[in-house]
Chain A
């Protein structure tokens, strides 16, 4: 098995599940002939035909609304929004319908659709292409929000998302779409949703993150190690609902926590994690919880975007601040 990138792992998972399950349909702008603007659906239309990999007119409300209808009637739509910023028109249908259909019909109907989008900044894109809005989705009950951070996790988590009986928003960190190659066996093995992955064991401080920020956070952990600080790194992966147990277990051990995300700080997913730690982990904490995040500003145009996003340096600095408390 060849080593593949994160975006290729997305394609691989889609192809695997389309092969296994004839109800899986890929639906969205430019996903067919063009194979998606990031090539995430490359080759799928050639393989599965234009009734299963469907180029749609340019209309996100239609895409999301039809996904609800299709999913409720026995299909498994995996829809693509071209960029996360263009998912906002979908919010109405996902929040008001997809997320509620099971509840509202007392289980008579459900909406097992997946809403995918390339997400986050750092690729020199124009305005509206670089936001990270996972907190928007995470806030709404009834929808899972999943963010992979490596090729193998993209493969396993996307399979799980497609197979999940409820709606899943699946945000793909496009900055690391092609950053790393990894051996991914196309064995159809899914990874569990709703659990965190511990990427690195450590004893002094817990670094909690997800998506592309895993890159800077791991770099920070390596830098800290050189200074004799042992950092544990947790990839949250499913940002709603959050597996607080794994995070708590780690913080019980380290007593310190730095939460890292690219999205704005205010009402970000980091705030939820910090609140969860305050709820149940407060007596294990040896220092205040730190958050290293994007600023509460509009994501700047590309010349400044790296100034917006947390750097390994900022993460190291925050970790050291937590260590000042003994």
Chain B
């Protein structure tokens, strides 16, 4: 060998272990001692879980269309949302509800969207946040573009995007890394690695040791964190967002977590996944871990937990009622599909709108 001209390492961070104890011998972030803030974040994680369970139940009873569950991703998603400022821009995929709840998106918005009603797309979060993105990984480039806009405007704003382990196979993701590196963009790319891209496990997507190293290949600082550890995930987000905001460029964070649910309600993971794997993943799940820690700190107990669950159930039911009331009693008009096609509706679409009004589907919508 002549010379090593580049060598790399990928660091892994976990501050709170699966038992809910701070990892020995590691300098922990200040957040670990900020019990009040942790309780707040834990409450949102719990609300998200209660919401998610209810959404799946609504789908099973025919009240919601296909729904993508976020079960098991709560720490990663809460960390992402809570680290951002309103003026930052979020470009999500389709299951980061907790991050969006933090940004003001309502639970009823999410239900409207998966309930097949366009009005959910006009959600209550920041107006500059991107809508849900179903085509995989395309949002990474939109976030890079948003970051470019902030840079050109000279604004201290940051774009944050989320992609799955599966999505990290796509060119769009790699192209976003490249662009962020070339232009030193204020961008944070989060890979929420939940181990499965529908039926394809992480090990069959590529043989790289980490997904974070894809960022390193593009020249971005890239780390891996335990995505079920809220403290590590949030710490990584804070660091990356601060760097981006201060003009130090983009970074990649791989949050390692696990998809405890089916991919969506249209999927049956039993066809391709061993139950043992899921059972052991439950031992590692994020809520239990943070709860244990909070209990040990004297900041949480069974009574508080039960109060919280009751409160969450009530809030979720409120959102469900709001959703059902709207779709049943104030349905989108038949011709709503024309409303936002253009600012100025072309003449031929006006004609087609008349046809749509004249020929509603038999039995209304479905």
Contact = CB atoms under 8 A, between A and B. Distances in A.
B134 A126 contact: yes
Contacts of A191: none
A266 B365 CA distance: 25
B87 interface: no
B168 to A, nearest CB: 9
A295 B355 CA distance: 9
Chain A interface mostly: loop
A300 B337 contact: yes
A56 B352 CA distance: 41
Contact of B349 (A124, A129, A296, A309): A296
Given A59-B170, A303-B366, A29 B200 contact: yes
A127 B337 contact: no
B272 A34 contact: yes
Interface string B190-223: 0000000111100011100000000000000000
A48 interface: no
Interface residues of A, number: 45
A126 B65 contact: yes
Contact of A307 (B94, B114, B197, B365): B365
Contacts of A129: 134
A304 B169 contact: no
Interface in A23-67: 29-30, 32-35, 37, 55-62
Contacts, number: 134
A28 to B, nearest CB: 11
Given A29-B198, A61-B170, A304-B336, A297 B341 contact: yes
B134 A307 contact: no
B134 A127 contact: yes
B35 interface: no
A311 interface: yes
A284 interface: no
Nearest to A310: B359
Contact of B338 (A32, A61, A297): A297
Given A301-B118, A313-B362, A35 B166 contact: no
A311 B117 contact: no
Interface in A68-96: 85-86, 88-89
B362 A128 contact: no
Interface string A287-326: 0000000011110111111111101011001000000000
Interface of A: 29-30, 32-35, 37, 55-62, 85-86, 88-89, 124-129, 265-266, 295-298, 300-309, 311, 313-314, 317
Q: Which 3 A-B pairs have the closest CB atoms?
A: A302-B116, A306-B361, A34-B199
